[in-house]
Structure 1
Amino acid sequence: MARGVKWLCSYKRTTLIVCSINIVVALYVLRSLYGSLYIYSNRDLNNVVKYTPDQISRMEESIRIRKANEPLQLVKLVKQVKEELKRDEKAVELPMEVRRKITDEVLQRLRSLNTNANITEQREAIESWRKEKLHEFKELSHGTGGLNSTILQEETRMLIKALDSDWAVLSENIGLWIPAEIINQVHDDKPEGEEESEEEILPGRPVPPECHAELHTDYDGAAVRWGLTHHKESAADCCQACLDQAKLAKPGEKKCNIWVYCPSETGCHSPDIYQHKNEECWLKYAEKPRLNFKDRYSESYRNLHPNAPLIVPWVSGVVST
């Protein structure tokens, strides 16, 4: 019996010793972890860059100099361009049928002019038509024309905006392009009483009579000079290039007798896969010149090519070689 009690006491003592050792080891491990965290935190604090007052003063001076040298004028121009782009994006988009009707009326007004009408008369005719339509739609919007339908009032409001603030965008959408008038500001050597001639309709120097320039016209023919890589500053220069090619052509080569020029700053439409840009000059040859397009694109053509403008933007001429 005494041996059993002694063995039991020895077992309890051994358990207490083992537990005590485990507690001591656990405390040691916790202390080691805490110490390592403290060391790393102090090390990070020591790695922080500390600037001297002189260095801080230099950095502030550098920032001040950069701000003083900012291109403020360029920033203003960029903001203006962004605002203009936003205005263009907000421009009223009229239905296709309405734009076609406007195009028909514009063409009818232009055809009512004399065949020798100069650029100023054309501009005045278009502006007169625009003001008449604008006045008519404003009267309708104020109720004097008897508008009762909400849909008709909304369409009238869109037309007023399109003919007023968005007229430039609408003109481009319907393919209306009237070149700027040429004014001789260096030498006023034009005889008094001489009327404006058709040679001054296109921008640039006057087109010679032998070029037979035709606005809103695109002639077909075999290309003797590829226009995508052949640009000229004016229609007259394009025609002269055609005449020069015909004179210098070698025996057996095709001689240019058709020139086709793109005067529009936004480029000219064509049914091919290329993007035709401003000042493109195509030199062509055809035994019997044949028209591709004249005045305006047909409705059936526009159905097949929705991106085509209503009016043909090209200028062409058939020369005699």
Structure 2
Amino acid sequence: MVRALRLDGRATAAARWCTCRRAAVALCVANLIAALLVARALYALGSFAFAPKREEATKAFAREEKTQKGLPLELNQKVSLEILQRLHDLGEGSNTMEQQEAIEAWRVGKLKDMGSTSSKNLSNFGLSSEDSNEEIIPGPPLPPELHTELHTDYGGTAVRWGLTHHKESVADCCQACIDQAKRARPGALKCNIWVYCRSEYGCYSPDKYENKHQECWLKQ
């Protein structure tokens, strides 16, 4: 009887020990699973936080890829670093719209810097804005039919949209205006204003459409 009681006591103690051990193992496994879930959640949050920046940077690089092909390597790296810095300054909580606005502000700032630099260079050489119209334009000679004014743009009705109408040189754009006016049917729009963007960084436009490199706008 006593022996039986002792065995029962040992069995009870062993059962309690097994129960405690199983509970401890289960608790450790639960903690491990919870830690893995938390780590996964944090990694996912970090990925989603940086994904828009990577996506927007990829789009920005794609937009600038054509521009950068003919530029020196150092200038390519400088442009890329400036875009990345703009996106980094926004912080992790920025959305896609804010990132697009930041990149567009960078482009506008570059255009303004180029304009101010050109004005300073002209003043250093003693040239006025009227004298700048005598700037030599690279490429084939321009047809005498159309008057050329540098650094200007005019409003008007678009005969051909420059967004889908690209030309290799100023002369090609000018000739396209002449050819369109000759081929136009009676009563149709005829080109009498042409606007061409030579700058790799884009050109100023008085309307909401910023002229891009090699865009040739035909207007009336």
Q: Taking structure 1 as the reference length, what is the TM-score of the superposition?
A: 0.35
**Rg: which structure is higher?**
1
Q: Taking structure 2 as the reference length, what is the TM-score of the superposition?
A: 0.49
**Higher relative strand content:** 1
